[in-house]
Amino acid sequence: MADKENPGEQKPKIIVDDDWKAQAQAEKERLAQEIDQKQAAAQQAAPAAGAGDAGAPTREAAAQQGQQARQLPPANFAAHVNSLVAQTFMAMGGMEDPRTKKRYVDLDLAKYHIDTLAMLEEKTKGNLSDDEKRLLNQGLYECRMQYVHIAQSVADMSAPGAEFER
């Protein structure tokens, strides 16, 4: 009916392009071949390097396969204390959750991390360098002060008729 009303109007033509299917299949086959070659090279390199578990890829094998090897900082006292301080501040809404991109306040979790720092202080008493002791004391002090501030703000917010100020 639409053709009778507007005889000069042309219907759009649907063009089917089968080339993309062939290109996609060729790319899929090429990638599969590259993966097979990389796995074969990794298997040959693993016995030569004396790798322990044959089922677990080594860091070198992961790098050869194009996977990004995770770079972790060296395990040391300062990194551990800084990690606990960061987790404490995150639990008090001081930092954004990297996964959800939201801030949240969990005072119980913050208190747990502060208690962990305090336990660490007690258990390492007399065994720390001056720098390590200063780092732990400063981190613990900052966490405790922020906890008191946040806990008071939360208490003020929950009071009837109160508004939260930032």
Q: pLDDT by residue (tens digit) across 114-157?
A: 999 999 999 999 999 999 999 999 999 999 999 999 999 888 88
Burial class (CB in 10 A: 0-12, 13-18, 19+), 165: exposed
Looking at per-residue pLDDT, the higher value among 50 and 45 belongs to: 45
Residue 40 has a pLDDT of 74
Could you give the CA distance from residue 107 to residue 90 in angstroms, rounded to a whole number? 10
Q: Name the token pair of 102.
A: 């939201």
Average pLDDT over every residue of 95-109: 88
The domain segmentation of the chain, as residue ranges, is: 19-64, 77-158
Residue pair 25/33 in contact by the 8 Å Cβ criterion: no
Q: For the whole model, what pTM was predicted?
A: 0.54
For residues 61 and 160, what is the distance between their CA atoms, to the nearest angstrom? 61
pLDDT at 35: 77
Tell me which amino acid residue 33 is: Q
CA 51: distance to chain centroid? 28
pLDDT for 50: 47
Q: Which residue has the higher pLDDT, 12 or 131?
A: 131
User: What is the model's pLDDT at position 164?
Assistant: 47
Q: Which amino acid is at 105?
A: V
